[in-house]
Structure formats: structure tokens, C-alpha cells
Amino acid sequence: MITKQKGTYDIYGDEAKKRAYVNDILATLCEKYNYNYIETPVFEASELFHRGVGETTDMVQKETYDFKDRGERALTLRPEGTASVVRWFIENKLYGNMSDPVKVFYNAKMYRYERPQSGRNREFTQWGFECFGSDDVMSDAEVISLAYNAYRFLGLDDVKVKLNSLGDTASRMKYRESLIAYFEPHIHELCEDCQERLKKNPLRILDCKVDAEKDIIKKAPVILDYLNEESASRFKKLQELLDLMDINYEVDDRLVRGLDYYNHTVFEITLNDSYALGGGGRYNDLVETLGGPSISGIGFAMGYDRTLLAIEENGVNIPINNSIDVYILYVSDTEKETAAYLTQDLRLNGIIAETDMLGKSLKSQFKSVDRFQAKYYIVLNDDDLKNNEVVVKDNKTKEEEHVKINDLVDYIDMHM
């Protein structure tokens, strides 16, 4: 028997309906913020992620699904959404006439080779959004607002924004030098990966899961102490805007995020002050790094699996409709033909309708009425059909009424 691959999953039934509900909530909210939906290919040139995400990230070094096609082209299954959206932005030259920011959102499958665990799989769905063209701190506030309110609209009330600034290039370089000077005398106290990161990207040491609880990490220099006046002023203004927007946040000076392309604002959304649900930040150099002009950008991404798990664990009720509106029963061949076209007519008029397609007995069809939790059912009868009418029964009250076939749709609509 062929089975699904480790770290992947099939989505069906109630789980699929939960995801559809979440999709609708998020898509509606994005539309209110004037973000447009985008889809990008599931695989891209490997160079996109190596240059965009960064050679020193764990994602690129350890987790990407890399392969060569029959033309010997190096390709990678998409591990995150931002790099692909930036590639789209550049390839379509959307920077050419930017009278307003370009704002998009996506809902797509991603792939990372990592150890599967609760809320984290090798194939996973990520929802995210990107905003290009504005370096104003107001766009930072808007993106944080959209991310924060997405969880609140999904019923998660105890969410908080963890907020930090990595500063501009000058501030970050100054901080980088201080980290190298600080960690070098203690290099053997760090894990093997962090020893490699020290020269390549020392900020990544602060994001290490292995060394996180060591004093050497906890006592490391803080980025906020190295912000120049412009970067510090920007960060202060962002906090003032978030206060005005009544967004629950706290400054976390240890937050750096796991990707190389961030500068200035970085943030995470947490639940119950601890459980990380998603994160994002500003990437003012990424468009240029990938071959475009100097255009600023900021974005956010949430993992569906972790979010749905949080919704379930916090007792949030997701409405799931497993009932249908009408079930049509029949016995004879002429009744069967009528059932076929009546079912279609009801469906095309927005009514959820079902009928038997397995040649079941009338008794078995009645069992289907209950399995589908039909609100109404119709037992076709050749004598009634000769009068161009059917008998509609309320499955709850068992009350019935003769209805002309031409009036059936209106009758069902009126009683739903």
C-alpha cells in the first residue's frame, strides 16, 4: 500500500471546513485592508531562496527541498512566501509606476525538511501578506495591525505583538561588530551551528534554539542600545502609532527573527504571552538584493497548522455545517429522472440538495436523509408528478405540504 510521505497530511471533512472558514475570515480581512490575492509557483530557481532568504539561515542550509529537473536546472520547493512574491514584483516591473503601495496576500503550500512535530510539518500551509513601496512607519503599523487583528477575528483574544527594531544598515553593522567581540572569547560555549554563525551572521546566534537558555546568550548586547538616532526615532514613532491603534504589544529586545533579510521593524504574534503564532518584519534591501531597484517592503506570515491548533486548544468554536437543505427520494425510473433534474435545479438556485445515486431502497434512502441531516426531504410519487407537484416534508416537525414543481425553489428559499 502506498501511503503519504512523512510530514504531510490529507485534508478532508471537518478539517477542510475549518480551513475554509479560516480562509474566508482572512481573505475578507485582507480585502478590508485593500490587499489583493496572489499565487506564485510551488517551485522556483534555487538561487531565489539562497540569495533572498540568505545562505546562513537554517532554512536554506538544512531544510529546503532542492532538486534538478531534466534540463539540469537547480530548483527548490518554496519554503516561504516572501522571496517568491518579491520575484513576482520585480519580474513584472511593478515598481515602474508606483503611485500607491503594492499590497498582496497569499495562502499557499510551503515545504521544509524538518522533524515533524505538533503544529509543524514538512508540507504546510502559510498565510501571509506583503506591502511594497512605502518606507513610512505607518506601513509598519498597518502590517502589524492586519496581523494582530487576523488572530482576533479568528477568536483568539489573548494575543500580543512582540516588537523589536534591528535598525538601519549602519546600526545593524555596529551591533554585529559588538556581538562578534562579545561572543569570540566564549565561542566554545556555543553549539556547533552558532560557532559557524559567529563570522557569517552573529545575529542568528540570538535566535538559536539550542543555546537559548545559556547565560552567554541572555547577557549578550542588546540591539536597541546600538540604534542610531534616526532608527531609534523611527522605532519610537511606531510604538506611538500602535498605542493610538490600541494594539497590545511589548518590546522584546531579543527578538531578531530567523531570516537574514529583515531590517528596522521585526515582530511576532504570540498567544498567552508565549506561544508564537507567526511573525514578520521590514525588508528594505530585499528587492534590490534580488535584482530590482531600491524599493522598501514589509510583510508577515502565519502558519495554518499552529493557528488551527491554537484555535482548538483555546476552545474557539468554528461553525461547521454538515447538513444539507433538501434530500429527494424516489423509487421508479420516472421518479429517478425527475430527481435528477430537480436536484440540479435546486443546486443551481443556491440550495444544498442531494439524491440517491447508488440504487438504494427507499428505506435506505430515508437513512441517508438523517445521515445528511437534511432540513427537508421530498418523496417523489408518480401520481403527484402527473399533477406537476411534489410533497415537501419538514424533517424536524414532519409537517408536509404539496408544492407545485415550478414553485419548489421559492418554497424552499422562503422556509430556509
Answer whether 162's CB lies under 8 Å from 249's CB: yes
pLDDT digits (tens, 9 = 90+) for 151-170: 999 999 899 999 999 998 88
Cβ contacts of 106 within 8 Å, gap of 6 or more: 37, 38, 39, 40, 81, 85, 126, 127, 128, 129
At 254 the pLDDT is: 83
Answer whether 407's CB lies under 8 Å from 389's CB: no
**Closest alpha carbon to 302 in 174, 157, 143:** 143
Radius of gyration of the chain (CA): 28
At 227 the pLDDT is: 92
DSSP count for the chain of H helices, then E strands: 15, 16
**Closest alpha carbon to 392 in 156, 383, 382, 405:** 405
At 354 the pLDDT is: 97
Indicate whether 258 pLDDT > 60.
no
The pairing of strands 400-404 and 263-271 is unpaired
pLDDT digits (tens, 9 = 90+) for 82-134: 999 999 999 999 998 888 999 999 999 999 998 887 777 899 999 999 999 99
**DSSP code, position 207:** G
**Closest alpha carbon to 331 in 386, 380, 367, 390:** 380
At 194 the pLDDT is: 75
Cell digits for 364?
435506505
At 55 the pLDDT is: 58
Q: What are phi and psi of 163, to 5 degrees?
A: -125, 140
| Distance separating alpha carbons of residues 35 and 28, to the nearest angstrom | 10
Q: Where in the chain is the domain with CATH 3.30.930.10?
A: 13-168+228-313
**Closest alpha carbon to 143 in 317, 268, 307:** 268
Query: What distance lies between CA 63 and its chain's CA centroid?
Result: 20
Q: What 3 state SS string does 286-334 have?
A: HHHHCCCCCCCEEEEEEEHHHHHHHHHHCCCCCCCCCCCCEEEECCCHH
Q: Starting at the edge strand that comes first in sequence, how are the strands of the sheet with 123-132 ordered? A: 36-37, 102-111, 123-132, 297-303, 275-282, 263-271, 159-165, 249-251
- Bridge partner residues of 124 (DSSP): 110
In the CATH hierarchy, which fold is given to the domain comprising 13-168+228-313?
BirA Bifunctional Protein; domain 2 (3.30.930)
User: Using 50, 70 and 90 to split pLDDT, how confident is the model at 233?
Assistant: very high
Indicate whether 14 pLDDT > 70.
yes
Q: Starting at the edge strand that comes first in sequence, how are the strands of the sheet with 66-68 ordered? A: 43-45, 74-77, 66-68
Indicate whether 189 pLDDT > 80.
no
| Distance separating alpha carbons of residues 367 and 373, to the nearest angstrom | 10
pLDDT digits (tens, 9 = 90+) for 56-85: 555 566 788 999 999 999 999 999 999 999
Give the chain's mean pLDDT: 90
Query: Which amino acid appears at position 406 of this protein?
Result: N
> What's the average model confidence in pLDDT over 218-239?
91
% pLDDT > 70, the chain: 96
At 52 the pLDDT is: 62
**DSSP code, position 35:** P
Kind and range of the H or E run holding 400: strand 400-404
Cell digits for 178?
559588538
At 305 the pLDDT is: 87
Indicate whether 175 pLDDT > 70.
yes
At 154 the pLDDT is: 95
Helices 408-415 and 333-348: crossing angle, nearest 10°? 60
| Distance separating alpha carbons of residues 378 and 299, to the nearest angstrom | 52
3-state helix, strand, coil in the chain (%, to 5): 40, 20, 35
Answer whether 212's CB lies under 8 Å from 67's CB: no
pLDDT digits (tens, 9 = 90+) for 358-384: 999 999 999 999 999 999 999 999 999
| Distance separating alpha carbons of residues 390 and 341, to the nearest angstrom | 13
Cell digits for 349?
438556485
At 260 the pLDDT is: 66
Residue tagged 551572521 (cell numbers): 201
Q: Where in the chain is the domain with CATH 3.40.50.800?
A: 326-415
Answer whether 282's CB lies under 8 Å from 264's CB: yes
CATH class of 326-415: alpha beta
The pairing of strands 263-271 and 249-251 is unpaired
Query: Model pTM?
Result: 0.88
Answer whether 266's CB lies under 8 Å from 281's CB: yes
